[in-house]
Structure 1
């Protein structure tokens, strides 16, 4: 009798434990399904964390860190990386402010125009450098104690019975100046090159004054000789 009772008891316990085991397995499976559904939902949200579930922070962060950048279809990743490495690095352009050279001598627009017309008449056919040199001689005279102290007075100076500059004498100064002569005047006004303080210039091919030829020659530019 005892043996029959013990067998029955053991069989009953085994059945209970089996049922408990099945229930635990079912619960674990259900939990896995829930966790899988949760992860799937998070993945479908493309890395956006739900406001009411702070426990997903680490999962969402991990999803964001591991999410690869979209790549063109059919192109190997190694090829894309190589193409990026081969692309030249464009240099950064330095932005520099354009330098503005202020004139050392300030003139009115009317005086600049008169000055440029003299340069045009005296150095027509000469190079730009030659025009700047003629303008420089006029400015050197303004600063010299031997001549008048303004550009207009230097241009209109009378020496003996004639004007110092022949274009004033023959009226050629009344013709408009070229753009190059205007620029030559502007450059001469900066006084960057004083032409060694030359105060005379002449064309040796046509000059008849023997005194001017006795002056110290500083430089020859084109058809003009510049002297002190």
Structure 2
């Protein structure tokens, strides 16, 4: 009787491992390259970086061929993408599109830095970092431009100048922040590292 239970338990465990393995293999997202596709366009469509696309598909160049199938790496969750877009909207409303991309890039750079938390949510909600968290405007919906800017920042991830901070010099007198190396000025925002 014990042997029969052992055999049945073993078969069930093996079956569950097999089905889990097959389900994981089936969940890998792919993209068939179409005429006019570039790694940049594919990245924008899926919200993944060109660097990640290259790494996932063992590429050293940007060369792709019509009809080939590319694996699409995991991207950030829909929740984090929306949260980041809402932060971009609140921080860069009225700014040029490039400024929106740069704000999203700062958050992604912080996630990738050892100096900050390891997730978008933790970076955004880190105490005293972003005014929209303090004043509640983080909860307002994001515009289509802010959503697109987040996708572009995701595509560009890891290729910029490493900005970790941004500020509006007309709204802050923080000498520590102003002492950081300026990477770019876009509209009313100074970006720095």
TM-score (norm 1): 0.54
Is 1:200 equivalent to 2:165 in the alignment?
yes
Q: Would the aligned equivalents of 2:166 and 2:192 in 1 still touch at CA under 8 Å? A: yes
State the shift of 1:98 in Å: 2.8
> Partner of 1:78 in structure 2?
none
Unaligned runs of 5+ in 1: 1-94
Mark the CA change 1:97 to 1:195 in structure 2 (over 3 Å): closer, same or farther.
closer
- Equivalent of 1:187, from 148, 152, 165? 152
- Equivalent of 2:84, from 115, 136, 143? 115
> Partner of 2:183 in structure 1?
218
Aligned counterparts, 1:167-178, within 5 A: 167-178=132-143
State the shift of 1:107 in Å: 1.1
Separation in 1, partners of 2:36, 2:172: 47
Number of residue equivalences:
130
**Once superposed, which parts of structure 1, at least 4 consecutive aligned residues long, lie more than 6 Å away?**
none
State the shift of 1:193 in Å: 6.5
> Partner of 1:137 in structure 2?
106
Q: Would the aligned equivalents of 1:111 and 1:151 in 2 still touch at CA under 8 Å? A: yes
State the shift of 1:191 in Å: 2.4
Q: Would the aligned equivalents of 1:142 and 1:148 in 2 still touch at CA under 8 Å? A: yes
Q: Please identify the structure whose Cα radius of gyration is greater.
A: 1
Aligned counterparts, 1:1-228, within 5 A: 96-99=35-38, 100-101=42-43, 103-104=48-49, 106-158=75-127, 163-191=128-156, 194-228=159-193
Q: Would the aligned equivalents of 1:142 and 1:154 in 2 still touch at CA under 8 Å? A: yes
Q: RCO greater where, 1 or 2, for CA within 8 Å and sep 6 or more?
A: 2
Separation in 2, partners of 1:223, 1:194: 23
Separation in 1, partners of 2:181, 2:94: 25
State the shift of 1:194 in Å: 4.0
Q: Would the aligned equivalents of 1:113 and 1:177 in 2 still touch at CA under 8 Å? A: yes
**Considering only aligned residues, what root-mean-square deviation do their CA atoms show, in Å?**
1.6
